[in-house]
Structure 1
Amino acid sequence: MSRISAFVFLLISLLFAVPAWAQQAAPAKEDAPNKKSEKPEKPRKLSRREKKELSRRAEVEAAQLRVGATLSDRDRGMSESYFVDGVKYVLLEDYNKALERLLKAYALNPTNAAINYKIAETNLLSGNLKDATNFAQAAVKYAPQNAYYYLLLAQVYTSQKQFDKATQVYTSLIKEVPDSDYYLFNLADLYMAQGKLNEALTTFEQAEKKFGPLDEVSFKKQQIYLKQNNLEKALQEGEALIKANPEEVRYVLAQAEMYASNNRMPDAIRLSEQALKQDPDNPQARMILADVYRLQGNSVESAKQIKLAFASPALDIDDKVRILVDYIKQLPNPAIEQTALDLAAITTKVHPKEAKAFSVAGDLQTITGHKAAGREAYLQAIRLDDSKFLLWQQVVLIDAELNQTDSLLRHTERALELFPNQSAMWFYNGVAHILDKQPIKGVKSLEYGRKLATDNPELLSQFDTQLGDAYHELKEYAKSDAAYEAALGFDANNAQALNNYSYYLSLRGEKLDKAKEMSGKLVKQFPDNDTYLDTYAWVLYKLKDYQGARQALEKALKTTTDATVIEHYGDVLFQLGEKEKALTQWQRAQKAGGASAFIVRKIKDQKLYE
């Protein structure tokens, strides 16, 4: 259920010497030093405000040194001087020097509570909890009426997870210091931290008797009842809160959530609708209704309510993104897909200047197969905030999937202006240049990106594979072969490297046995892949194994109408003496489009040209 910010007392009471309750209720005490509010394990930087307050307190505490002291004027003056110096070094966060001065003051006046307190506080800040404990105990002993000394001791014990001792300190504080009943709230929080729910409940009830009914206490008691599985008592507290604060929608919504989480759906709907009467645009009420209707199987009404909630600017963008991410985790799921897309569209409409809205919308569009729409959403997110590399990466991946070379080239160039050290983007840029028939530029990008990817062997292998293709286009065959060998050295089953390397070797008529081994290995792994079958067939063709090539191509042609495969089949048939059938296949290849430059001469002369 929802939480109310005013109720974060449990954590505060564990970390701070004067928690939120004390700050709200305690009267100012001019003779009491303020507390620190940081975990003792690690020293922290003091704020300017804290330093100013410590400086003021130093004067007050110096005055305390005179109270009840039986020192000579000289010793009193020296003690005060050391004390003030010590406080100064605390302000400067030089705790070693601070302790040096304070201990000199202590040597002159060991029973002074203020000196003991300041030494304890300094030890706490520097992480010396043992000494902090001893000096804090002494401060309480010498000034049992000073509430802040108890608070420091409680903090020291809490920092050591000695909650029982901290509890005893709060109990003594409430007993010994007049008008300190407001620390009952701290004590109750401490009991809750220990899981002592009955004691916490009793202490909160004591506080209510002293101070009257308090909304925050009712809310805390409600949480205790829930932990005790006493639902009826928790609900009674909730109803009492609503009755005492009829104008407070948050209590109505908290009660509605409690009903919903305990399967009291009619009551949850009743209170949610009550909240909407008070605040018609309240998105939280809509979200509760959406959840209740979903649990009841009423998907239509559930979708209606959540869309109304998303249409409200009052529902935080981060909450919307979190909910959309939950939808993403459930995809693919036809039952929720359209609702998720609608919610993403509403989010971008309501928050047109939030990059994260378009980013998550892009994710949803992409996952549901709407690649172009997903890319446009990512690009809009980039227009609002171009600093997220992952968004650029998503864009160029979609460019590649859609085979849109111009977009891939344009987007990678823009991304590299912002992220020149991202090796992956150089890879995409190199691929884009190769696809754009600019192998020289492709090689330049790939070689540069490869230097940036030395700590990523998998990405290096991808660079090497693409460089093998690019160097082949440039007829730099030695570099091409070396790149493929490097790629296969990392992954001997790299399909792209095995296929392209073996095919280019067959075109050159070189290392045909090696080409046969590589392409055969690939076909064995992917026996129905027409591209790999065509490569294997062409290697066999170059080895003059025309029957083997024919079998591979006929299998490939069961799943493809690619002109190259058809033309190759015609070439094989021609070599086998079936010239009429060869001519028919060449004509098919020409009609399909994308055949070799020799196809017209082959058909016209009915001869094989290679």
Structure 2
Amino acid sequence: MPKLKLWGGVFLFACIFVSCHSTRKLQETASPAFTVLSPEEQRKYDYFFLEAIRLKIKGESDAAFDLFKHCLAINSYASSALYEIAQCYFLSQQNTLGEESLTKAVTYAPDNYWYSQILVNVYRQQNKKLQAVDLLEAMTARFPNRYEILFELAEIYNLSEEYDKVIDTLNRLEAKTEKTEQLSMEKFRIYLQMNNSSKAFKEIESLTEEYPMDMHYLTLLGDVYLQNKKEKEALETYQKVLSIEPDNYPALFSLANFYKQTGQKENYEELLDSLLYNHKVSGEMKASIMQHFFLEVAEEKQDTVKLITIFDRLLEQNSDDAQIPILYAQYLLSIGKEEQAMPVFETVLQYEPDNTAAHAMLLRYAIRKEDREQIIVICESGIEISPQSPEYYYYLGLAYYQDDRLDDALEVYHKGLANINGNEVKGIISEFYSIIGDIYFQKKQQSDAYMAYDSALVYNPANIGALNNYAYYLSVERRDLDKAEEMSYKTIKKEPQNYTYLDTYAWILFEKGNYTEARIYIDDAIKNGGENSDVIMEHCGDIYYMNSNQDDALKYWLKAKEMGSESKTLEKKIRQQKYIAE
């Protein structure tokens, strides 16, 4: 038997609804003819029902089901218990029993909207269209102000192509509310489905008659004519609008589309130009016009230079509307002109300083270009506008760190920790503390560094960057080497080909005197890219020396020197041809 999937989340909502309202209130909807409980019986019912709800929330479904059954033994007409039992049946895929119990709940509590709505969903899920329609029709009488019932009826009729009933239902809706564009357009669409174009156009015409002074509807009528190849009627309608309101820009835009559709290219382009460069036309309409140009360029594979020229001219108007620069930037990205798009995103921020998408694009581009100055500018303004966004603190701190502005970096990360929600972004908080630890170690504040690493691992015990650096710095100080080995081993288990982590683990083993094992891991580090690191080259020489391989040790020390190593003891190692501890 297929598992029943209830529609639209209504089932879940109703569960919450039932659980959060008293059983007494739910039972008040039932007819008093069914049963009247004594105060003692009502007290027992309430107790067992609430206990069943508690068990259900705990996930003890079987025990909850038994208590709901016990509630029915107290009052066999209790709609609240029947509803919960129906839910239990559905969850255990006993759909027939679930439907029976839910039907009883609706029968005993006909004024509970959610019980009825969920039963409608059950009928629809099981393709029981007639039962769904009958129940919805009954609900229209019981809940006359719930207009969504009629919308759902119209949807069912439409799916079964019963178009006369769709029209009738929409008319019922219109009688309850008012004549609206949404309803008229839907009726227009249905009439066209019925091949009744006369009634279709009459429906839109009736909308203009209902609101004769609203030029929007008259323009809409012209658009409908145009979309359905009635060019003559469309032109007459647009001209009527413009005779009343010569500066009706939506009507002018529609007229431009008329020119395009009828092949009057010169008139089309001239009218669009007059709209685009008119300061009184809204940015929203200009954006719509430019989107039309997008389609033309894409469909006709035209050169994009013309479009870019138009955008540039529009930007020169210095409008205070961000829609055109946003659209322009998106267009430039779509044709691969990322670098050209960045100044346009900066223009967007002049109009909308809090535009997060523009900030994100500029930051991403600056990071990819490794433009630290730009990263700093973007992140500093980003923090002012969005102080709870962790990415600005993260990249600003890194930029300061790389510029050797250690105190500024610390201040940024501490400010970030104070402003962002640690419960939501624990991984990022962990990264902040990890970098703080690195900075403190650079400042030779080892105790503060280790406290920061400990905090990083509290928020994310699997932060392998923190694990590696913590372990390495412990090994540099030759302290807590067992702890360092344990942390470092986690990193190479996670990334067994990461030469940095392999080097750290090898060096810890070296410091512990496990020279043979250290050589295995330092060799792996070299094989996986470590040959490009002067530090790893020197470590390799040290480890080879302690494994009684002085010739290869000297070779690696010389390579480290050639790579520009700043080690304090490297020259002595080479000169004396022996390992010298720092």
Q: Alignment partner of 1:517: what SS?
A: helix
Map residues 200-239 of structure 1 onto 2, 5 A cutoff: 202-208=198-204, 210=206, 215-216=216-217, 219=220, 222=223, 237=234
The one-letter code matched in structure 1 to 2:433 is W
**Is 1:491 aligned to residue 498 of structure 2?**
no
Distance of 1:239 and 1:557 partners within structure 2: 86
1:466 match: 469
C-alpha contact (below 8 Å) 1:187/1:203 kept by paired residues: no
Q: 1:153, CA displacement in angstroms?
A: 6.6
The one-letter code matched in structure 1 to 2:119 is N
**Is 1:529 aligned to residue 532 of structure 2?**
yes
* 1:453-479, Cα deviation, whole Å (9 max, x unpaired): 14xx3x2x2221121023234431333
C-alpha contact (below 8 Å) 2:499/2:530 kept by paired residues: no
Q: 1:170, CA displacement in angstroms?
A: 4.7
Distance of 1:184 and 1:386 partners within structure 2: 43
Q: Alignment partner of 2:517: what SS?
A: helix
* 1:523-549, Cα deviation, whole Å (9 max, x unpaired): 112164133333323322333423323
**Is 1:344 aligned to residue 345 of structure 2?**
yes
Q: 1:442, CA displacement in angstroms?
A: 1.0
Number of corresponding residues: 461
* 1:77-130, Cα deviation, whole Å (9 max, x unpaired): xxxxxxxxxxxxx9x9967644647999xxxxxxxxxxx9x9689468643336
The one-letter code matched in structure 2 to 1:518 is Y
Deviates more, 1:398-407 or 1:176-185: 176-185
2:486 match: 482
**Is 1:157 aligned to residue 153 of structure 2?**
yes
The one-letter code matched in structure 1 to 2:495 is D
1:30 match: none
Q: 2:443 aligns with which of 416, 436, 442?
A: 436
C-alpha contact (below 8 Å) 1:119/1:132 kept by paired residues: no
2:381 match: 380
* 1:292-341, Cα deviation, whole Å (9 max, x unpaired): 597533165145146347x422335xx866765776687xx5x440x322
2:431 match: 424
Distance of 1:263 and 1:369 partners within structure 2: 50
Structure with larger RCO (C-alpha < 8 A, sep 6+):
1
C-alpha contact (below 8 Å) 1:223/1:234 kept by paired residues: no
C-alpha contact (below 8 Å) 1:201/1:221 kept by paired residues: no
C-alpha contact (below 8 Å) 1:537/1:553 kept by paired residues: yes
- 1:268–1:343: structure 2 CA closer, same or farther, 3 Å change rule? farther
1:9 match: none
- 1:315–1:205: structure 2 CA closer, same or farther, 3 Å change rule? same
The one-letter code matched in structure 2 to 1:483 is M
**Is 1:272 aligned to residue 272 of structure 2?**
yes
Distance of 1:195 and 1:489 partners within structure 2: 67
Q: Alignment partner of 2:319: what SS?
A: coil
RMSD: 5.1
The structure with the larger Rg is 1
Q: Alignment partner of 2:478: what SS?
A: coil
Q: 1:186 aligns with which of 163, 183, 188?
A: 183
The one-letter code matched in structure 1 to 2:499 is A
Q: Alignment partner of 1:481: what SS?
A: helix
Q: Alignment partner of 1:127: what SS?
A: helix
2:18 match: none
C-alpha contact (below 8 Å) 1:487/1:497 kept by paired residues: yes
C-alpha contact (below 8 Å) 1:40/1:125 kept by paired residues: no
Distance of 1:256 and 1:525 partners within structure 2: 64
* 1:277-306, Cα deviation, whole Å (9 max, x unpaired): 654564346544595597533165145146
C-alpha contact (below 8 Å) 1:530/1:557 kept by paired residues: no
Distance of 1:277 and 1:323 partners within structure 2: 15
- 1:258–1:475: structure 2 CA closer, same or farther, 3 Å change rule? farther
Q: 1:563, CA displacement in angstroms?
A: 3.2
Q: 1:163, CA displacement in angstroms?
A: 4.0
Distance of 2:223 and 2:112 partners within structure 1: 36
1:547 match: 551
Q: 1:574, CA displacement in angstroms?
A: 4.3
Distance of 2:512 and 2:147 partners within structure 1: 88
Q: Alignment partner of 1:341: what SS?
A: helix
The one-letter code matched in structure 2 to 1:369 is E
2:577 match: 575
Map residues 307-326 of structure 1 onto 2, 5 A cutoff: 307-308=315-316, 311-316=318-323, 324=329
2:77 match: none
Distance of 2:522 and 2:264 partners within structure 1: 65
Q: 1:205, CA displacement in angstroms?
A: 0.8
Distance of 2:402 and 2:185 partners within structure 1: 60
Q: 1:407, CA displacement in angstroms?
A: 2.7
Q: Alignment partner of 1:510: what SS?
A: coil
Map residues 593-604 of structure 1 onto 2, 5 A cutoff: none
Distance of 2:573 and 2:354 partners within structure 1: 60
Q: Alignment partner of 1:296: what SS?
A: coil
2:414 match: 413
* 1:413-455, Cα deviation, whole Å (9 max, x unpaired): 111222473222222222221222222111111112212214x
C-alpha contact (below 8 Å) 1:465/1:487 kept by paired residues: yes
C-alpha contact (below 8 Å) 2:434/2:453 kept by paired residues: yes
- 1:538–1:215: structure 2 CA closer, same or farther, 3 Å change rule? same
Unaligned ranges ≥5, structure 1? 1-38, 46-89, 105-115, 143-147, 577-597, 599-607
Q: Alignment partner of 1:312: what SS?
A: coil
- 1:132–1:329: structure 2 CA closer, same or farther, 3 Å change rule? same
Q: 1:301 aligns with which of 283, 299, 309?
A: 309
Q: 1:260, CA displacement in angstroms?
A: 8.9
Distance of 1:530 and 1:297 partners within structure 2: 47
TM-score of the pair, normalised by structure 2 = 0.62
- 1:187–1:540: structure 2 CA closer, same or farther, 3 Å change rule? same
Deviates more, 1:439-448 or 1:359-368: 359-368
Q: 1:127 aligns with which of 103, 118, 133?
A: 118
Q: 1:450 aligns with which of 457, 475, 480?
A: 457
Identical columns (%) = 9
TM-score of the pair, normalised by structure 1 = 0.60
C-alpha contact (below 8 Å) 2:181/2:207 kept by paired residues: no
Distance of 1:254 and 1:185 partners within structure 2: 20
1:365 match: 366
Q: 1:386, CA displacement in angstroms?
A: 0.9
- 1:139–1:253: structure 2 CA closer, same or farther, 3 Å change rule? same
Distance of 2:457 and 2:419 partners within structure 1: 18
Map residues 39-78 of structure 1 onto 2, 5 A cutoff: 41=10
Distance of 1:359 and 1:280 partners within structure 2: 31
Q: 1:241 aligns with which of 228, 232, 238?
A: 238
Deviates more, 1:161-170 or 1:424-433: 161-170
**Is 1:252 aligned to residue 252 of structure 2?**
yes
